[in-house]
Amino acid sequence: MAYDLKKELEKQDRLVGGHKLCAGCGAGITVRAVLRALEPGDKAVIGNSTSCLEVSTFMYPYTAYTESYIHTAFANGAATTAGVEAAYRALKKRGKVKENFKFINFGGDGGTYDIGLQSLSGAMERGHDMVYVCYDNEAYMNTGIQRSSSTPRFADATTSPVGSQSAGKPQNKKDLTEILAAHNIPYAAQTTFIGNFKDIHEKAKKAIYTEGPCFLNVLSPCPRGWRYDAKELPNICRAAVETCVWPLYEVEEGEWHLTYEPRKKLPVEEFLKMQGRFAHMFNPGNEWMIEEAQAYVDKQWEKLLAKCK
């Protein structure tokens, strides 16, 4: 079925207004786009690992969700959602639950790439019928912009500060989507917000309605941590895709597919120059940082192309 933006926008919002996320934050857009993939009549149980998203959308006794919601600790988001899914299957088998429920857990990169990785890996390996969505803003933004294993090399964070003895974070970003794909799950994908949201809407629908454990990794910029004007959010996402810093692809039953290939791959500077966290890379004498960043992106892009071919 062809993608119909008008039809998607006519669906009920499952994340409503009144939350306290920052202007220009990618997390709220991620949640709204993913939950919009639910078909009318289907219900969801939303798990949410401790994060910016959690403290901004659920302030007991108030919630910005129309669906059932569970706040979990950093470490056990996937385990909690997996447990609820297992209970649902048992109750449905006994005829005690009639409605159709979907199970979706949202976590930031700190609670996904790092602290919650063990429980996420376990839930995927056990085969729970659930979707884990990482809104990836590339640092521990809620607690002070500390670096995570998702933070890119050279980024200025409070625990990898730029100074006379430091060029920012010294390590490259962990490739979590590839790690999850290696669990042999039926569906894993990488996406963000570009154009008419077709890519994220279609991938969210696939993830939610594919039986078994599925994973979505969504680049979700943070204005405070990345240091950009709120209005630049869509431009930054587009630059990430066009430079191949954040390629769009999916792994479906072990088959790798690009879902977008730039007509002309832009230099990495087009992404870096839009963010204050990389400003030092453009200082005289730091040209080597941009060269190494470009070399890394080129290498990762060629590896991805080989898998998709």
| 241 three-class SS | helix
Name the pLDDT band for 124 (thresholds 50, 70, 90).
very high
Sign of the four-CA dihedral 123, 126, 127, 129:
negative
Question: What is the pLDDT at residue 31?
Answer: 97
Nearest to 152 by CA among 134, 167, 132: 167
Distance in angstroms (rounded) separating the CA atoms of residues 207 and 180: 13
Distance in angstroms (rounded) separating the CA atoms of residues 299 and 52: 32
The per-residue pLDDT of the chain, averaged, comes to 96
Question: What is the pLDDT at residue 6?
Answer: 81
pLDDT, one tens digit per residue, over 68-101 is 999 999 999 999 999 999 999 999 999 999 999 9
Name the pLDDT band for 1 (thresholds 50, 70, 90).
low
pLDDT for 47 beyond 90: yes
Name the pLDDT band for 12 (thresholds 50, 70, 90).
confident
pLDDT, one tens digit per residue, over 216-236 is 999 999 999 999 999 999 999
Question: What is the pLDDT at residue 18?
Answer: 84
pLDDT, one tens digit per residue, over 243-253 is 999 999 999 99
Percent over 90 (pLDDT), the chain: 92
Phi, then psi, of 25 in degrees rounded to 5? -85, 135
Phi, then psi, of 111 in degrees rounded to 5? -80, -5
Question: What is the pLDDT at residue 3?
Answer: 77
Q: Can you tell me the mean pLDDT for 110-114? A: 98
Q: Which residue has the higher pLDDT, 8 or 154?
A: 154
pLDDT for 4 beyond 70: yes
Alpha helices for the chain (secondary structure H): 5-9, 26-35, 52-57, 77-93, 109, 117-126, 176-181, 198-209, 223-226, 233-242, 269-272, 287-308
Per DSSP (E only), the strands in 89-229 are 101-108, 131-136, 162-163, 166-167, 187-191, 214-219
Q: Which amino acid is located at 286 in the chain?
A: N
pLDDT, one tens digit per residue, over 15-36 is 998 899 999 999 999 999 999 9
Question: What is the pLDDT at residue 60?
Answer: 86
pLDDT for 215 beyond 80: yes
In CATH, the number for domain 12-308 is: 3.40.50.970
C-alpha distances out from residue 168 to 129, 160, 231, 280, Å = 39, 5, 26, 9
Domains of the chain, residue spans: 12-308
Nearest to 245 by CA among 229, 269, 228: 269
